[in-house]
């Protein structure tokens, strides 16, 4: 009986660790994506800082919304897509205030080349 409890405890611990690591990996991936944008757009100084702040705030807002929908059990794909599209539009409006017209066009080109939608 002690072995069964011990094995169950190990399984729960392993699951918790893997879940936390998965979130960390996603956050790291998003951070790297933002840094790639900064590099490709050749942003420096205050402009780069403001760009990072807008991107990070947007990602955090999206993460919280997805988490909220997941926790409430209302994972309606269409509603999720609409909210994410709205967040993207808001983010792009803020980014447009920071970047020059040429930089913003390049930013849109970069975004258009990224994979979108569910991955199977």
- Confidence (pLDDT) at 20: 47
What's residue 38's pLDDT? 92
d(CA 19, CA 24): 9
Q: What is the pLDDT of residue 26?
A: 74
**For 76, phi and psi rounded to 5 degrees?**
-80, 115
Average pLDDT for runs of 10 along the chain of length 120: 58 54 69 91 94 91 83 78 88 94 93 65
87 near 80, Cβ under 8 Å?
no
pLDDT for the residue 12: 59
Strand ranges, E, within the chain: none
Crossing angle between the packed helical segments 77-98 and 101-113, to the nearest 10 degrees? 150
Domain residue spans of the chain = 2-113
For 92, the token pair is 């792009």
């Amino acid at each position: 009986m002690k072995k069964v409890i011990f094995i169950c405890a190990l399984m729960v611990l392993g699951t918790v660790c893997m879940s936390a690591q998965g979130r960390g990996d996603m956050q790291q991936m998003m951070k790297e994506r933002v840094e790639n944008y900064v590099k490709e757009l050749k942003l420096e100084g205050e402009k780069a800082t403001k760009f990072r702040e807008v991107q990070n705030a947007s990602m955090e807002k999206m993460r919280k919304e997805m988490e909220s929908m997941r926790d409430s059990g209302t994972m309606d794909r269409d509603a999720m897509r609409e909210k994410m599209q709205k967040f993207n539009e808001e983010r792009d409006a803020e980014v447009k205030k920071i970047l020059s017209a040429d930089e913003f066009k390049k930013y849109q080109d970069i975004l258009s080349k990224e994979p979108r939608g569910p991955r199977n």
